[in-house]
Amino acid sequence: MMMTGTDGDALSARGDGFLSRAQYIEEIDLGEPEGPRTILSGLVPYMSAEEIAGKKVIVFANLKVRAERRRRDRRGKPRARERERRRTDRLTTYDALHLDQARKLAGIPSHGMILAASDASHENVELLVAPEDAVVGERVRFGDSDEPQAEPQTPNQIQKKKTWEELQPLLRTNDACVPTYEGAPMMTSAGAVACATLVDASVG
């Protein structure tokens, strides 16, 4: 199930040694009564926190919750490379408060996946963004059909049936930078979803 959501503040966890790679920890409003979801994304190398905050993004919302953990060797100790990185690669773009928060991120759960387009080299990555008038929390669809959508699969069903693994290779942007599934555009009630510039790019 893909939904529109508004991205709040993004916090980089880069270089603290607790996560296996640089990630943002983001608060995404999906219009749910429980409040915003916490979602981790690997977008740190591609865009700043300021470029992400406030965007109306697309979220794959019914994946199983996952947690990033410290990578350990077979003896249960932090890997030597990560220990070295903790000494040499420090957070440089965030203040002391953010640094203190980042050190507490081991095991933080991620409640979904933010979708983005990527070129073949994976050097250029752009968010999929819904139109400004799209309703926060609405389900996106592929094509212009007004037929009712099927009930979304549960996280367990998605994992068991490998739904995402089958769907993802068929998602590509068209000449208008709109993500498509087998040629059908990704749509909201306010129009098509799109990235900024990437054509014939994969989506994930």
Radius of gyration, alpha carbons of the chain: 18
- Answer for the pair 26, 38: CB distance below 8 angstroms, yes or no: yes
As a whole number, the mean pLDDT across the chain is 75
pLDDT in tens, 23-57: 888 889 988 899 898 888 889 899 988 888 889 99
Closest CA to 187 of 127, 146, 155: 146
Q: What is the pLDDT of residue 186?
A: 95
Q: What is the pLDDT of residue 67?
A: 56
Confidence of residue 133 (pLDDT cuts 50, 70, 90): very high
Q: What DSSP line would sit under the chain, residue for residue? A: -EEEEEEEEEEE-TTSSSSSS--EEEEEE-S-TT-PEEEEE--TTT--HHHHTT-EEEEE-SSPPEE----B-TTSSBPHHHHHHHHH----SS-HHHHHHHTT-TT-EE-SEE-EEE-TTSS-EEE-B--TTSPTTPBPEESS--SPPPPPPPHHHHHHHTHHHHHGGGEEE-TTS-EEETTEEEEETTEE-B-SS-SS-EE-
Percent of the chain with pLDDT strictly greater than 70: 67
Buried b (16+ CB within 10 A) or exposed e, 12-26: bbbbbbbbeeebbbb
Distance between CA atoms of 197 and 105, rounded to whole angstroms? 33
Which CATH number is associated with domain 2-203?
2.40.50.140
Confidence of residue 191 (pLDDT cuts 50, 70, 90): very high
| C-alpha angle 104-128-126 in degrees, rounded to nearest 5 | 75
- Answer for the pair 108, 116: CB distance below 8 angstroms, yes or no: no
Confidence of residue 127 (pLDDT cuts 50, 70, 90): very high
